[in-house]
Chains A and B, each alone.
Chain A
Amino acid sequence: EDQVTQSPEALRLQEGESSSLNCSYTVSGLRGLFWYRQDPGKGPEFLFTLYSAGEEKEKERLKATLTKKESFLHITAPKPEDSATYLCAVQGAGKSTFGDGTTLTVKP
């Protein structure tokens, strides 16, 4: 059975204080690892897909990396508008398994 574990559960940062979120996974036949952002009461918003170890993708202050066992979402110089829950998901045999998410709060 596919498993995804995200840490920490919650992260509080000061504006401009860089940090990383972790996603550890086990999956039979990785088809893709996904990062989503979810604001309260809204649907998840797609951020990145990573397919193979060593791959990296960037978007504004976010950078996602992938190894054979985990993925990191690096947040550089975050702003208050980056506050959200970040979800990691892996796709194995035809469906995606989500982690419990990391709730990020960025204080001005």
Chain B
Amino acid sequence: DTEVTQTPKHLVMGMTNKKSLKCEQHMGHRAMYWYKQKAKKPPELMFVYSYEKLSINESVPSRFSPECPNSSLLNLHLHALQPEDSALYLCASSQGQFDGYEQYFGPGTRLTVT
């Protein structure tokens, strides 16, 4: 099974709201990722967790706060977002962060900030 699940599928939030995106995998993968994707653009890396520790933060604004509670779960906490943050947010996992392991992506959360 190569499934990565994400909830919710769609999210509409105001600029003062606090919400969270959730991601889960049961493949035993030790690396997990958050990407942001705008229309007709490639996925843009936000964060990488390796063995439940934050490994890469691509200078993401602090209104995005990642969390990795255990090896199967990844959260992205959202607060005080801007309309330009509206995008498809993708979670992915891989066997490891290095050594050329392919990534498996979830279906994404379509976020709209009003």
Residues on A close to B: CB < 8 A?
A: 31-32, 34, 36, 41-46, 49, 51, 87, 91, 94-96, 98-101
Contacts and interface: CB of A to CB of B under 8 A. Distances in A.
A32 B102 contact: yes
27 contacts: A31-B98, A31-B99, A32-B99, A34-B102, A34-B103, A36-B105, A41-B88, A42-B107, A42-B108, A43-B106, A44-B43, A44-B90, A44-B105, A46-B2, A46-B103, A46-B104, A46-B105, A87-B42, A94-B48, A94-B56, A94-B97, A95-B48, A95-B56, A95-B97, A96-B45, A96-B103, A99-B42
Contacts, number: 56
B51 interface: no
Given A87-B42, A94-B48, A43 B107 contact: yes
Interface of B: 2, 4, 41-43, 45, 48, 55-56, 88, 90, 92, 97-108, 110
A32 B101 contact: yes
